[in-house]
Amino acid sequence: MATNRTFTMIKPDAVANGSIGGILKMINEAGFRIVAMKYTKLSKEAAGSFYEVHKERPFYGELVEYMSSGPIVAAILEKENAVVDFRTLIGATDPTKAAEGTIRKIYAKSIAANAVHGSDSDENADIEGNFYFSKLERF
Ligand code: IDP
Ligand code: MG
């Protein structure tokens, strides 16, 4: 059953270059409500565990290094059809292939440093939100 919630991170490159405000503005203007939010930094171990599903992929080591390289903003977002609509808002993984007007098209530097994460299913949105937030941190 659809939960109408998704999970996002503003990744280290976007935080470092001052894009938190711009990205949150796009998220709000697209109709997402913030349920939970945290400014934090992943240890290598935590990044490795968050991206465990990708551990056989050739870029796993690079991804773990990058995601633990600086602070991030993690958030749970709510909207009807949240998972699918948020993937549309962020655009393709590779910013050179992302549609005009998407967050990655505007803010991402490369396929690795691609500004934002967005859950790919309701099930993963739930798992990823639980990775960062307790029930008491959701409003
Ligand atoms: P997604 O973030 O669009 O769902 P995934 O395939 O789930 O894309 O990959 C997770 C993350 O791994 C991407 O957002 C990106 O940061 C990184 N990544 C994906 N493909 C590559 C690659 O070919 N080289 C380096 N990093 C990659
Ligand atoms: Mg993914």
DSSP string over 27-86 = HHHTTPEEEEEEEE---HHHHHHHTGGGTTSTTHHHHHHHHTSS-EEEEEEE-TTHHHHH
What pLDDT is recorded for position 67?
98
Query: For the chain, first and last CA: distance in Å?
Result: 21
How far apart, in whole angstroms, are the C-alpha atoms of residue 27 and residue 24?
5
Q: Kindly report the CATH number assigned to the domain that includes residue 23.
A: 3.30.70.141
Q: Which residue out of 54, 89, 93, 124 has the highest number of ligand 1 atoms within 8 Å of its CB and is therefore the one to mutate?
A: 93
Inform me whether the pLDDT recorded for 113 exceeds 90.
yes
Using the atom order of ligand 1, give the atom closest to the CA of residue 51. Answer: 10
How far apart, in whole angstroms, are the C-alpha atoms of residue 48 and residue 53?
9
- The angle formed by the CA atoms of residues 95, 86 and 108, to the nearest 5 degrees, is 20
What pLDDT is recorded for position 37?
98
Using the atom order of ligand 1, give the atom closest to the CA of residue 87. Answer: 3
| Residues with C-beta less than 6 Å from any ligand 1 atom | 54, 59, 62-63, 93, 111-112, 114, 117, 120
Do 8 and 116 form a contact (C-beta atoms < 8 A)?
yes
Establish whether 54 is a catalytic residue.
no
Single-letter amino acid, residue 35:
V
The CA 48 to ligand 1 mean position distance, Å, reads 14
What pLDDT is recorded for position 2?
62
Q: How many domains does the chain have?
A: 1
Q: Whose CA is nearest to atom 3 of ligand 1?
A: 93
Inform me whether the pLDDT recorded for 115 exceeds 60.
yes
Inform me whether the pLDDT recorded for 19 exceeds 70.
yes
Report the mean per-residue pLDDT for the chain. 97
Q: Does the predicted model carry a pTM greater than 0.95?
A: yes
pLDDT in tens, 3-12: 799 999 999 9
pLDDT in tens, 53-79: 999 999 999 999 999 999 999 999 999
Could you list the residue range(s) of the whole structural domain that residue 125 is in? 5-137
